């Protein structure tokens, strides 16, 4: 195991040694720490001129530091839209698959929640 000497402790030299994996941050809150930076993957592709212009305008507007970083929010939005559509399909399938009794119970619960929310705003 490799060791790192603790060079200074309140200005005094010390001979204590700590394993590199256990050296604590010395209080520099600006230095990145392992795990702080999200891993990134290289993406090299050709996109439509209008999409590139959109990403470039995000950089110009200060919404991203680079065209590559501008891709992330666009992809996040697309993923969010897909996730919502999938949830909507799954929810619809759930209600279609309910027995009559379970559907009636769901309807009663919906009515009760609706009435409760209206009572609080009346």
Q: What is the pLDDT of residues 29-67, one digit of tens each?
A: 666 666 666 678 888 899 999 999 999 999 999 999 999
Residues of the chain above pLDDT 90, percent: 58
Read off the pLDDT of each residue in 64-72 and give the average, rounded to a whole number. 93
Burial class (CB in 10 A: 0-12, 13-18, 19+), 78: exposed
Q: What is the pLDDT of residue 22?
A: 46
Instruction: Determine, yes or no, domain membership for 68.
Output: yes
Structure tokens at 113: 């929640």
Residue 58 lies in a domain: yes
75 found inside a domain: yes
Structure tokens at 50: 């209008």
pLDDT of residue 112: 95
In-domain check, residue 110: no
Q: Which residue range is the domain that position 84 belongs to? A: 47-97
Does residue 119 lie within any of the structural domains?
no
* 45 CA to centre of own chain: 24
Q: How far apart are CA 56 and CA 52, in angstroms?
A: 6
Is residue 3 over pLDDT 60?
A: no
Do residues 22 and 41 make contact, with C-beta atoms less than 8 angstroms apart? no
Structure tokens at 97: 């698959």
Which pair of structure tokens corresponds to residue 3?
């060791």
- Tell me how far apart the alpha carbons of residues 46 and 52 are, in angstroms, rounded to a whole number: 9
């Amino acid at each position: 195991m490799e060791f790192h000497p603790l060079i200074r402790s309140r200005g005094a030299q010390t001979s204590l040694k700590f394993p590199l994996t256990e050296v604590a941050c010395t209080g520099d809150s600006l230095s990145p720490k392992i795990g702080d930076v999200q891993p990134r993957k290289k993406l090299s592709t050709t996109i439509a001129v209008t999409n590139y212009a959109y990403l470039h305008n995000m950089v110009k507007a200060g919404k991203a530091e680079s065209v590559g970083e501008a891709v992330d929010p666009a992809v996040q939005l697309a993923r969010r839209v897909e996730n919502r559509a999938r949830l909507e399909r799954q929810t619809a399938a759930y209600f279609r698959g309910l027995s009559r009794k379970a559907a009636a119970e769901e309807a009663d619960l919906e009515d009760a929640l609706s009435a409760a929310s209206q009572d609080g705003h009346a």
